[in-house]
Amino acid sequence: MKPFTYARPNSAAEAVKAFAAAGRDARYIAGGTTLYDLMKLGIERPEHLIDVTAIRGLDRIETGGDRLRFEALAPMSAVAADPVVGRDYPVLAEALAKAASQQLRNMATVGGNLLQRTRCLYFRNGAGNPSSVGVYPCNKREPGAGCAAIGGLDRGQAVLGQSEACTAVSPGDWPVALTAMDAAVEVLGPSGARAIPIAELYRLPGATPHLEFMLAPGEMITAITVPKTPAGRRSTYHKIRDRESYAFALASAAVALEMEGERVTRAHIALGGVATRPWRATEAEQMLAGQPLTAAVSLAAGRAAFAGARPGRHNGFKIELGARTVADALMIAARRSA
Amino acid sequence: MPAAPFPERERIDARDKVLGATAYAADIPLPGLLYAMMVPATTPKGRVETVAVEGAMQVRGVVRVLTAFDFPALPGPPPTPATEIAYRGQPVALVVAETLEAAIEGAEAVRATYAGQAFVPLIDSPGAARELVQPKKAGNAQAAMAGAATTIEASYVSPAQHHNPMEMLSTTAVWRDGKLTIYEGTQSASLVRANVAIALHLDPAVVEVKSAQVGGAFGQKIPLQRQTPIVALAAILIGRPVKLVLPRAQIFHNAVFRPKSRHQVALGADAGGKLTAIRYDADHQQSRKGTLEPGYHESPPRMYGVADYDGTAAHVRIDTQDPGAMRAPYPHPAQFAFESAVDELAHKLGRDPVAFRLAHQATTDPISGNPLSSCFLNDCLTEGARRFGWERRPIAQGAMVEPDGTLVGWGVAAGGYPANVSPTIATLRVSADGRTRFAVAGHEMGQGIRTVIAQLLQRELDVDPARLEIAIGDTAAAPQHTTASSRGTVSVGAAVTAAAAKMRAAMAELIGQRSIAGNIHRQLATVRRPFLQVEVSTLGPGQDAGALDRLRAGARAAAGPEYPQFTSFSYIAHFVEVRVEPSTRRVRVPRVVSIADCGRVVSPRTAASQVRGGVVWAIGAALREETEVDPRFGGWLNADLADYVVPVNADIGDIDVGFVDRPDPLFNAVGSKGLGEVAMVGAAAAIANAVFHATGTRVRKMPLRIEDLL
Ligand SMILES: Cc1cc2nc3c(=O)[nH]c(=O)nc-3n(C[C@H](O)[C@H](O)[C@H](O)COP(=O)(O)OP(=O)(O)OC[C@H]3O[C@@H](n4cnc5c(N)ncnc54)[C@H](O)[C@@H]3O)c2cc1C
């Protein structure tokens, strides 16, 4: 922990201005459920915090019209409990409800959630400060330092999208559901407002795992939009973890289906817990199109989703677990009525 | 003749706890308090070459930084900052500041350099040093094994684990008028006093330790905690009270932990299917100088009356902090192995695992040759089987399948735990104004020792419960035993009974032939006696007054489970249903039935809650908890509660708890034996046995995870 300044602007425009004035070592802070942790662990060391929670009217949940719109400051718990979201887009509600704990979801915002950082043990517990004790090299924390997770205790690490520099899993559940549902993120920055398809928000680690998001400095997330689709009702977020609740995914699948009779006309599938970014399972989606959804077909789709997976030392099981998770998710979604 | 059961009474501290009103050590408000943060070593082994504190001293609010050079040089490893680093996370410095934030910032600014040394991180790493201890033998197991008609042999692994009570390790020290007062959560206030006095060259008489409420301990708070003398010295040198609360990751690295252990078990049965031979070799992870014995042969020989037993045990010394006792330190891992093996043998014999166990009623202890004071394990098994509906269990594996493909399995296993006892010195004062004060040894760690004392006292004497003060966990109140090894209730129970008897005698003498109305307080008021006070001391079976001297000195004074005339154990049987998901193989535990034999149940409510808690612990141990070391770096990798996976509410199903509630005739006057640890013993094996019954897959290690069943 080191001293920082603290500002509490009243509008998004003011927040962006305050950020630009503060310069590089500024951070927005919303619920603070993960940023404060990272500060205590010596990973984030901001000089300036710009608290966006005093901004009024940036927490609306809009379900009319041809898209869903969730403003950035809406608490996870509020979106999870929204009756329309729950009925028409269970994949979204479940992804939120199965994350963290009720207390955290009451504090955490749907905007802040998108920018949470990996739970890789070596990343979080390795800065060697009094709160984390461990000292582990990490390219994400310290570019060029090396990666301790590679060749280490990598049970939790990614099997998809990893690089020579980093195998850290993208941890969030909500971004996985949003990826399956083709969401977009509205941002406001020093050079104005724009919308980013969620698929373009997240980077692969490549040689620069410390760069995680395609946001320009000072860009603030203001809202998330999801185009409406009839697939929403036949959807689910299926999450497998080491305990029944209050844990990140070992493997998860966000699935939504458009069907005609027994036949899938269009499938949305994204994977969590197994990849270095929210992972769209395009091959599996393509494979399902036009197929009758049987147990065998869904397992084949699950396998297709992991066709390109590469195991580490202790996480090979995630490939089979992930395939079965996708298969189960497909069957759960298919049983729901459109 | 079974005596009437003790009444169900609520916990006397429940309301305060629910309201958050209970004050733990770190909650005590003190004027002028300073805050401290410890600086952990960032090397797994080596020597501190320099410690630069200038950066820390420049942080606004930092008052002082203590390093190894501030401490008196002592022979042997002092529990203070040292220049020899034996494990990652060892204290290198203590930063003391006006605020917690400044202390943390200062601690981050301390820079130490080290001369690193090669280290041995794991028990299977090259350089791990095996050190055999005295074997435990009875009869001739070799011959019995050679003559066995059926044998099985397998090895089992129990991982390193950390206790993780909710209450963080903390110490608050006050130095005033030549007296040192320490507030901290401990199970051993007198031991802390004795050891702080040694570490700081103080007369123990000027040290008091207060631990009125402990937020969970489970063995973590038995030994002197690493930070205690460091914080005490800081308070002495600075002349202001100092408080340190260790961050969770530092607790993982400095507290004692359950060492990893390996268990090779061979069992032999004769042609009639009777268990006749046990060979059991155990070893465990140990630090270079640690003393926790590999005492895994406590329970297995005392379960089934097998005369021929051959046990070896060893330390495997590596570079780590000292391991220590964690709830059921030996019987939990040992019974996981042993009861899994018994299940394997019963399976090989084609026998029902309950019927197989019932055929082996133990009456004597083969190790000492003495009788067991009581063993109602068969009652536990019979009652548990009845409540669980065991007779409906198909003997084949994989035979119970739900329509959705979920595999259901039922498993059983038993546990035993030594019945221990500590000598006790207690003072009881009953006043005419309605107050009662009972001062005795004991630490309230949430297990309910105050409730037990109140329960027993009210049975013996007509005192006003609303004005009852129970002074425990305080070296100023009475010499404090180490509240561990499930000896708390038994030890204070003896003291309450003795004190009440002495009080009744004193009252009788005071009142003579008169008949005076009202409770004891009214009677005292009537005879114009402000108060009556009695002091008693009690001893365990076979103990002499030397035990009381050791108790006063904060040294080891307890006895058990082998007493001169008999051996005493508590027992339990667990019945578990597991459900294994067909595809992703998550294991759920929807119901458990646990029936315990702990002699008389003196406080039904807290007793049942001990068993429920023990079963929850076993569910954690069997399916989730392991502290992991990356051998390239040393230290603990998953040193936080997000990644050290304990069960949450949603993981826990129905736990039906029952008691035999028959008095032990020999062990003590109340007829009770310990409960807090036997509660979890065997339950992890019952889970693994149930998983075998569901899936046909035998997993011989904890934790059993999804990937073991995929
Ligand atoms: C114990 C625990 C368990 C958890 N389990 C799960 C889980 O199972 N699944 C899961 O998905 N998540 C889990 N989480 C993570 C949780 O969902 C996130 O912490 C939370 O969503 C972050 O939201 P916040 O508003 O608190 O963000 P903050 O902590 O305030 O901020 C997070 C990041 O986002 C940035 N930020 C915040 N708001 C904005 C904005 N409007 N524009 C631009 N940048 C912004 C901040 O600068 C910071 O970098 C868990 C967290 C904890 C502590």
Give tens-digit pLDDT for B376-394. 999 999 999 999 999 999 9
The residue from B209, B235, B254 where one domain ends is B254
Does the beta-carbon distance from B706 to A321 stay under 8 Å?
A: yes
**Nearest Cα residue in chain A from B626:** A242
State the architecture of A231-334 in CATH terms: 2-Layer Sandwich (3.30)
Q: Does B269 share its domain with B182?
A: no
Say which residues have a Cβ less than 8 Å from residue B669's Cβ, sequence separation at least 6: B494, B497
Which chain A positions have a beta carbon within 8 Å of B246's beta carbon? Answer: none
Both structure tokens of A181: 């549902």
Q: Does B635 share its domain with B687?
A: yes
In this prediction, residues B450-467 reach a mean pLDDT of 95
Q: Does B226 share its domain with B363?
A: no
Q: Which atom of ligand 1 is nearest to the CA of A38?
A: 29
A153 touches chain B (CB under 8 A): yes
Q: Does B605 share its domain with B690?
A: yes
Tokens 């929403």 belong to which residue? A232
Q: Does B276 share its domain with B372?
A: yes
CA–CA distance, B544 with B536 (Å, rounded to integer): 15
Q: How confident is the model at residue B80 (pLDDT cuts 50, 70, 90)?
A: low
Interface residue of B42, B87, B404, B583 to substitute, partner A, most A CBs within 10 Å: B583
Q: Is the pTM of this model over 0.90?
A: yes
State the architecture of A5-54 in CATH terms: 2-Layer Sandwich (3.30)
pLDDT at position B72: 65
* Domain assignment of residue B272, yes or no: yes
Q: Does B518 share its domain with B576?
A: no
Does the beta-carbon distance from B650 to A122 stay under 8 Å?
A: no
Q: Does B192 share its domain with B309?
A: no
B-contacting residues of A 246-265, CB under 8 Å?
246-248, 250-251
Give tens-digit pLDDT for B184-209. 999 999 999 999 999 898 999 999 99
Does the beta-carbon distance from B706 to A119 stay under 8 Å?
A: no
Interface residue of B113, B707, B708, B709 to substitute, partner A, most A CBs within 10 Å: B707
Domain membership of residue B338 as a residue range: 261-419+564-702
Centre of ligand 1 from the C-alpha of residue A76, in Å: 10
Is residue A43 a contact partner of residue A50, using CB atoms and an 8 Å limit? no
In this prediction, residues B544-557 reach a mean pLDDT of 92
Does the beta-carbon distance from B651 to A244 stay under 8 Å?
A: yes
Give the residues surrounding ligand 1 with Cβ less than 6 Å away. Answer: A 27-35, 37, 52, 72, 76, 99-100, 104, 107-109, 111-113, 115-116, 172-174, 220-221, 248; B 642
- Tell me which DSSP letter residue B258 carries: B
Which chain B positions have a beta carbon within 8 Å of A271's beta carbon? Answer: none
Q: How confident is the model at residue B162 (pLDDT cuts 50, 70, 90)?
A: very high
Question: So where are chain A's domains?
Answer: 5-54, 231-334
* Domain assignment of residue B12, yes or no: no
Centre of ligand 1 from the C-alpha of residue A96, in Å: 12
Does the beta-carbon distance from B633 to A2 stay under 8 Å?
A: no
* Residue B83 reports pLDDT greater than 90: no
* Residue B498 reports pLDDT greater than 90: yes
**Among candidates A133, A151, A247 on the partner chain, residue whose Cβ is nearest the Cβ of B635:** A133
Q: Mark B283-310 as b/e (b = at least 16 C-beta within 10 Å).
A: bbbbbeebebebbbbbbbbbbbbbbbbb
Does the beta-carbon distance from A320 to B710 stay under 8 Å?
A: yes
* Residue B75 reports pLDDT greater than 70: no
Domain at B631, CATH number: 3.30.365.10
Q: Which atom of ligand 1 is nearest to the CA of A221?
A: 42
Element at B52 (helix H, strand E)? strand B46-52
B111 touches chain A (CB under 8 A): no
A55 touches chain B (CB under 8 A): no
Walking along chain A (338 residues) 10 residues at a time, the average pLDDT comes out as 91 97 93 97 96 97 97 98 98 98 98 98 94 95 98 98 98 98 98 97 98 97 98 98 97 98 96 98 97 97 98 98 98 93
- N-to-C CA span, chain B: 53
Does the beta-carbon distance from B637 to A134 stay under 8 Å?
A: yes
Count of structural domains, chain B: 3
DSSP letter string, B163-179: ---SSPPEEEEEEETTE
* pLDDT > 90 fraction of chain B, expressed in percent and rounded: 95
pLDDT at position B79: 59
In this prediction, residues B165-172 reach a mean pLDDT of 97
Q: How confident is the model at residue B64 (pLDDT cuts 50, 70, 90)?
A: very high
Q: Does B280 share its domain with B368?
A: yes
Say which residues have a Cβ less than 8 Å from residue B513's Cβ, sequence separation at least 6: none
* pLDDT > 70 fraction of chain B, expressed in percent and rounded: 98
Does the beta-carbon distance from A121 to B643 stay under 8 Å?
A: yes
Does the beta-carbon distance from B648 to A245 stay under 8 Å?
A: yes
Predicted-complex ipTM score: 0.96
Question: How many residue pairs bridge chain A and chain B with CB atoms within 8 Å of each other?
Answer: 116
**Among candidates A119, A130, A243 on the partner chain, residue whose Cβ is nearest the Cβ of B40:** A130
Interface residue of A103, A118, A133, A317 to substitute, partner B, most B CBs within 10 Å: A133
Whether omega for the bond prior to residue B561 falls within 30 degrees of 0, making it cis, is yes
- Dump strand ranges (E) for B539-617: 569-580, 587-597
Both structure tokens of A222: 């203001």
B653 touches chain A (CB under 8 A): no
pLDDT at position B82: 78
Helices (H), chain A: 12-22, 35-40, 76-81, 83-88, 90-97, 102-107, 110-114, 121-124, 174-180, 282-288, 295-305, 317-335
Which chain B positions have a beta carbon within 8 Å of A251's beta carbon? Answer: 584
Which chain B positions have a beta carbon within 8 Å of A244's beta carbon? Answer: 588, 648, 650-651
Q: How confident is the model at residue B1 (pLDDT cuts 50, 70, 90)?
A: very low
Give tens-digit pLDDT for B563-613. 999 999 999 999 999 999 999 999 999 999 999 999 999 999 999 999 999
Both structure tokens of B125: 């790493």
B641 touches chain A (CB under 8 A): no
Say which residues have a Cβ less than 8 Å from residue A152's Cβ, sequence separation at least 6: A122, A313, B630, B632, B637
What is the distance in angstroms between the Cα of A243 and the nearest Cα belonging to chain B?
6
Element at B460 (helix H, strand E)? helix B449-460
Chain centroid, CA A183 distance in Å: 12
Element at B237 (helix H, strand E)? helix B228-238
Q: Does B78 share its domain with B222?
A: yes
Both structure tokens of A84: 């329309």
Q: What is the mean pLDDT of chain B?
A: 96
**Nearest Cα residue in chain A from B635:** A134
Is residue B648 a contact partner of residue B676, using CB atoms and an 8 Å limit? no
What is the distance in angstroms between the Cα of A244 and the nearest Cα belonging to chain B?
6
Q: Which atom of ligand 1 is nearest to the CA of A76?
A: 21
What is the distance in angstroms between the Cα of B82 and the nearest Cα belonging to chain A?
17
Which chain B positions have a beta carbon within 8 Å of A124's beta carbon? Answer: 640
CA angle B499, B502, B508 (to 5 degrees): 140
Does the beta-carbon distance from A1 to B633 stay under 8 Å?
A: no
- Tell me which DSSP letter residue B482 carries: P
Q: Does B364 share its domain with B503?
A: no
Both structure tokens of A179: 């990826």
Q: How confident is the model at residue B70 (pLDDT cuts 50, 70, 90)?
A: confident
Q: Does B413 share its domain with B429?
A: no
Which chain B positions have a beta carbon within 8 Å of A131's beta carbon? Answer: 104, 247, 249-250
- Dump strand ranges (E) for B524-615: 531-538, 569-580, 587-597
In this prediction, residues B113-125 reach a mean pLDDT of 97
**Nearest Cα residue in chain B from A315:** B707
User: Which residue's CA is the nearest one to ligand 1's atom 40?
Assistant: A221
The residue from B497, B514, B547 where one domain ends is B547
Does the beta-carbon distance from A317 to B710 stay under 8 Å?
A: yes
pLDDT at position A224: 98
pLDDT at position B401: 98
B113 touches chain A (CB under 8 A): no
Tokens 């508590």 belong to which residue? B570
Q: Does B618 share its domain with B515?
A: no
User: In a 3-state reduction of DSSP, which class is residue A184?
Assistant: strand
**Nearest Cα residue in chain B from A136:** B633
Which chain A positions have a beta carbon within 8 Å of B121's beta carbon? Answer: none
Handedness of CA B187, B14, B252, B234 (dihedral sign): negative
- Dump strand ranges (E) for B107-214: 111-116, 129-132, 136-138, 150-158, 170-176, 179-183, 207-210
Q: How long, in residues, is chain A? A: 338
